[in-house]
């Protein structure tokens, strides 16, 4: 039996728990690490507020997708025991326990730490009864003019059934009484989702700040939850009735997508219908204010069909995603220091052209390894596509689009190219989760401009980050290529840490041509030279590299496996890493999110170390390095690309990794992982029991090195040195 399929030992369910950590628990632990940053008083205060918002948003998606999917599989009888050895019901119960603990802790951090500290800086999140009479009067005017017209109170009685509660909407459960009949009634008021979560109160000139937080004095900013303003004016919504009580609540629903793709021509229509169905998915979580009356709660539980374990009582205000409004305040002293990206030095130096910033000319000189956001996306990848669209010698542009911004210059460049008569192909992944509606809109806009739009291969999401430009030159056609780890999204490129390769290497050009032909046509037997492509060759190719390191170690030669990922769950890959560890190969894993590896287990994984780094930027790049530091750079195999080590990436998506061959680039990526794994770098360490421990201070209490600051400083130093030359 080959090493690619041979397990470490019999994967009996009773033993599975000793090999693999549970995926869902690991995700919750990731979000707990986000929460630790919100708790960290060494982080700038407004950034702590932002981490609270990120935690809330992350958990919403977890319930909408992972919990909802698990519940659906249990209900349909297709759920199976997890790789960690837990039965589906055990996983669901474990999620409930951990989620209750984390949500309660999240609320405590806000109410007991972040909120009081914000108040000390003149930034207050206050309730209605804490406002002055003058402030209440001005907000009454704003309510009457800007909120009241868009509210729709819905009564519940024999003539009005319990209304549909949309997912993630914030609502008020209201009990009113008819003074004539003394009869009590239930009503629901939905907080309009298009209005800001928190309303600002301008106390400077006595003029209402309305709903624009940018008008508030940044040194004395007061925010009121919008539901407080609505609650204070419920008598205007129910004239003639007595308002007895009101309580805020929020429902999370199943919002994962299920689309049958038997007929690829109807995929767009099928997805649109599924997006409509998503609005009516079953509830998976009910959040209620902790002071909610028991009778009101019983009514909500009964009508929504949730269980007691799915009810989360929390101190108001609910839905702290809106803290992004607070975090965006113009208080530079309470935020991370300003960060300015720079143009990569290889795009400006040694390029023989009269046009500064000529990306195509720079690519003809050398391969360029980009590291965003330190290297500007707009002056590299975006400029590459914009210049290609405007270049009369460019004949064709082909690109994958998974997620992009609403006002994307990338999409505009493709449209310009098509209108200029170039052949333009866009592989648009309209099933990119929670971006489906936006991608449908962009797909239609591209089609109307004459772009050839296809939706990839039936049954597979196209997640690879690829762009190919074909240009007519004096000596024939030349192909210019970009392969990256992140989406073609200029907005997230300023916040996500990603890598990308710009190259005119003919082998990469041939590989991308073949891959695009496979995505747009029929080419199932395609082979590649510098690419590893899922679902056919990526897992096998990486395992082959791991086996090669095992062979080196068994022969007494230096060996090493080093990975940087968002998530690692795939059991086949993990078992290969376990075999490497057992053969004496040092294995280092830098993982941002989910990790099913159990490191440091004697006889199984004692040579495996796992670190996680979270910070100002979202660590998003994927790097695969094979070869120890004692080996020559030329003998080190290195890839970057779009794939994480999860079943969906390896089996159900089109993913691409490109081999990095320039020794200087390999050294740069090796140095990146060196810093990440160094004990002097602030990070979270995963132990053999599955517990993450944060290491961010030395024994004497001094802060450890911040990876992202160190990378920024290293690149700035390189640029200064290059300028002196």
| CA 49 – CA 176 distance, rounded (Å) | 36
Does the pLDDT value for residue 443 go beyond 90? Answer: no
**Least confident window among 76-85, 174-183, 275-284:** 275-284
Pick the more confident residue, 170 or 69.
170
Alpha-carbon gap, residue 60 to 3, rounded angstroms: 40
- Any idea which of 349-363, 447-461, 464-478, 498-512 has the lowest mean pLDDT? 349-363
What phi, psi does 597 have (nearest 5°)? Answer: -70, 140
Among 324, 325, 320, 145, smallest CA distance to 236 is for: 145
Grade residue 580 by pLDDT with cuts at 50, 70 and 90. Answer: very high
pLDDT at 641 over 90: yes
Q: Which residues of 526-564 are buried (b: 16+ CB within 10 A; e: fewer)?
A: eebebbbbbbbbbbebbbbbbbbbbebbeeeeebbbbbb
Taking the domain 128-329, which CATH number applies?
A: 3.30.1840.10
The arithmetic mean of pLDDT across residues 27-49, rounded, is 96
For residue 269, the model assigns a pLDDT of 52
Q: Any idea where the domains of the chain sit in the sequence?
A: 21-106, 128-329, 345-527, 533-724
pLDDT of residue 618: 95
SS3 46: helix
Say what percent of the chain tops pLDDT 90: 64
The DSSP code for 704 is P
| Angular region, 260: left φ>0, alpha ψ -120 to 50, beta rest | beta
CA 53/CA 167 separation, integer angstroms: 18
CATH topology of domain 21-106: Methane Monooxygenase Hydroxylase; Chain G, domain 1 (1.20.58)
The domain 345-527 having CATH identifier 3.90.550.10: the answer here is no
**Confidence at residue 251, expressed as pLDDT on a 0 to 100 scale:** 94
Token readout for 566 is: 């968002």
Give the pLDDT score at 278.
45
Please give the CATH number for the structural domain made up of 533-724: 3.30.870.10
pTM over 0.85: yes
Same fold, 345-527 and 533-724: yes
The pLDDT value recorded for residue 256 is: 60
State residue 447's pLDDT score. Answer: 82
Q: Residue 140: phi, psi to the nearest 5?
A: -65, -40
Supply the pLDDT for residue 180: 87
DSSP track, 106-151: HHHIIIIIIHHHHHHTTEEE--GGGS-HHHHHHHHHHIIIIIGGG-
Query: Residues 398-435: pLDDT tens digits?
Result: 999 876 655 688 888 999 999 999 999 998 876 545 45
pLDDT at 453 over 90: no
126, 224 contact by CB (below 8 A): yes
Active site residue 463: yes
For residue 583, pLDDT beyond 90: yes
Adjacent-strand bridge partners of 609:
588
Distance from CA of residue 42 to its chain's centroid? 24
Distances (CA, A) of 418 to 392, 400, 404, 502: 12, 15, 19, 22
Q: Of 359-373, 458-472, 492-506, 678-692, give the lowest mean pLDDT range.
A: 458-472
* Share of residues in the chain with pLDDT > 70 (%): 85
Q: What is the pLDDT of residue 685?
A: 97
Average pLDDT over residues 566-577: 96
The phi and psi torsions of 389 (rounded to 5 degrees) equal -65, -35
Reported confidence tier of residue 715, pLDDT bands at 50, 70, 90 = confident
Chain segment 120-167, per-residue pLDDT in tens: 999 999 999 999 888 898 899 989 999 999 998 888 876 677 888 888
* Average pLDDT value for residue range 679-684: 96
* 600 pLDDT higher than 70: yes
**Rounded mean pLDDT, 58-71:** 91
**pLDDT given at position 432:** 47
Which position has the higher pLDDT, 279 or 103? 103
DSSP letter string over 13-28? Answer: HHHHHHHB--HHHHHH
Choose the most confident range, by mean pLDDT, from 61-75, 155-169, 394-408, 587-601: 587-601
3-state SS class at 708 = helix
Confidence of residue 258 (pLDDT cuts 50, 70, 90): very low
For residue 560, pLDDT over 90 is answered with: yes
pLDDT digits (tens, 9 = 90+) for 173-211: 999 998 988 898 899 999 998 899 999 886 433 444 444
Q: Tell me the pLDDT band of 106, cut-offs 50, 70 and 90.
A: very high
**Cα dihedral 36→41→45→46 (10° resolution):** -10
Question: Which listed residue (463, 482, 552, 665) is catalytic?
Answer: 463
Q: Which residue has the tokens 């970057």?
A: 640
- Distance CA(637)–CA(668), nearest Å, equals 13
The answer to whether 394 touches 388, Cβ cutoff 8 Å, is: yes
Query: In the chain, count of helices (H) and strands (E)?
Result: 22, 27
Under a CB-based contact definition with an 8 Å cutoff, are residues 70 and 88 in contact?
Answer: yes
Pairing of strands 618-619, 465-473: unpaired
Q: Give the model's pLDDT for residue 158.
A: 67
Output 633 or 668, whichever has higher pLDDT.
668
Whether residue 279 has pLDDT greater than 80? no
Residue 248 — very low, low, confident or very high, per pLDDT cuts 50/70/90? very high
CA distance 456 to 469: 19
Residue 355 confidence class, pLDDT cut points 50, 70, 90:
low
């Amino acid at each position: 039996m080959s090493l690619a399929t041979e397990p470490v030992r019999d994967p009996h369910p009773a033993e599975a728990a000793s090999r693999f950590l549970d995926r869902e628990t690991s995700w919750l632990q990731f979000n707990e690490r986000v929460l630790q940053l919100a708790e960290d008083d060494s982080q700038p205060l407004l950034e702590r507020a932002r981490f609270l918002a990120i935690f809330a948003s992350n958990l919403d998606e977890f319930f909408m997708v992972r919990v909802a999917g698990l519940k659906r599989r249990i209900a349909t009888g297709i759920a199976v025991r997890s790789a960690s050895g837990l039965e589906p019901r055990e996983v669901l119960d474990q999620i409930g326990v951990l989620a209750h603990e984390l949500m309660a802790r999240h609320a405590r951090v806000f109410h007991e730490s972040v909120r009081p500290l914000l108040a000390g800086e003149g930034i207050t999140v206050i309730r209605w009864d804490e406002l002055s009479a003058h402030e209440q009067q001005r907000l009454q005017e704003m309510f009457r003019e800007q909120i009241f017209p868009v509210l729709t109170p819905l009564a519940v009685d024999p003539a009005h059934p319990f209304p549909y509660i949309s997912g993630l909407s914030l609502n008020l459960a209201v009990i009113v009484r008819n003074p004539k009949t003394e009869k009590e009634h239930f009503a629901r008021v939905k907080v309009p989702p298009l209005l800001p979560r928190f309303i600002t109160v301008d106390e400077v000139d006595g003029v209402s700040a309305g709903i624009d937080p940018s008008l508030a004095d940044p040194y004395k900013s007061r925010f009121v939850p919008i539901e407080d303003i609505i609650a204070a004016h419920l008598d205007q919504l129910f004239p003639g009735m007595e308002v007895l009580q009101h309580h805020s609540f929020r429902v999370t629903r199943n919002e994962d997508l299920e689309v049958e793709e038997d007929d690829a021509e109807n995929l767009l229509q099928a997805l649109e219908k599924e997006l409509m169905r998503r609005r009516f998915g079953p509830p998976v979580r009910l959040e209620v204010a902790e002071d909610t009356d028991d009778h009101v709660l019983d009514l909500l539980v009964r009508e929504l069909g949730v269980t007691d374990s799915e009810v989360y009582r929390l101190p108001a205000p609910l839905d702290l995603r809106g803290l992004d409004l607070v975090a965006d305040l113009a208080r530079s002293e309470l935020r991370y220091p300003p960060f300015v990206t720079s143009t990569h030095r290889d795009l400006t130096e040694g390029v023989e052209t009269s046009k500064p910033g000529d990306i195509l000319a720079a690519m003809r000189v050398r391969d360029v390894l980009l590291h965003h956001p330190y290297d500007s996306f707009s002056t590299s990848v975006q400029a590459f596509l914009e210049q290609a669209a405007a270049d009369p010698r460019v004949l064709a542009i082909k690109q994958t689009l998974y997620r992009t911004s609403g006002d994307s210059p990338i999409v505009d460049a493709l449209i310009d190219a098509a209108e200029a008569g170039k052949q333009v192909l866009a592989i648009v992944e309209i099933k990119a989760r929670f971006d489906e509606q936006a991608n449908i809109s962009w797909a239609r806009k591209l089609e109307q401009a004459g772009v050839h739009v296809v939706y990839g291969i039936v049954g597979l999401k196209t997640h690879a980050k690829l762009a190919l430009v074909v240009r007519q030159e004096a000596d024939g056609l030349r192909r210019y290529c970009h392969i990256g780890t992140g989406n073609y999204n200029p907005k997230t490129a300023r916040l996500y840490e990603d890598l990308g390769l710009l190259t005119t290497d003919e082998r990469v050009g041939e590989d991308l041509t073949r891959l695009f032909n496979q995505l747009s046509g029929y080419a199932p037997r395609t082979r590649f030279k510098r690419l590893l492509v899922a679902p056919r060759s990526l897992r096998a190719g990486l395992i082959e590299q791991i086996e090669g390191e095992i062979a080196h170690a068994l022969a007494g030669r230096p060996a090493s496996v080093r990975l940087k990922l968002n998530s690692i769950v795939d059991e086949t890959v993990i078992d290969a890493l376990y075999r490497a560890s057992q053969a004496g190969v040092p294995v280092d894993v830098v993982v941002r999110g989910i990790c099913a590896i159990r490191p440091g287990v004697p006889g199984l994984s004692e040579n495996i170390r796992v670190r996680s780094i979270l910070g100002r930027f979202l660590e998003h790049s994927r790097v695969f390095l094979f070869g120890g530091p004692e080996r020559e750079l030329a003998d080190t195999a290195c890839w970057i690309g779009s794939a994480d080590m999860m079943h969906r990436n390896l089996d159900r998506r089109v993913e691409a990794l490109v081999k990095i061959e320039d020794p200087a680039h390999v050294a740069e990526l090796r140095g990146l992982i060196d810093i990440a794994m160094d004990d002097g770098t602030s990070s979270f360490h995963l132990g053999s029991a599955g517990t993450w421990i944060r290491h961010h201070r030395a024994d004497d209490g001094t802060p450890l090195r911040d990876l992202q600051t160190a990378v920024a400083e290293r690149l700035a130093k390189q640029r200064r040195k290059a300028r002196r030359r």
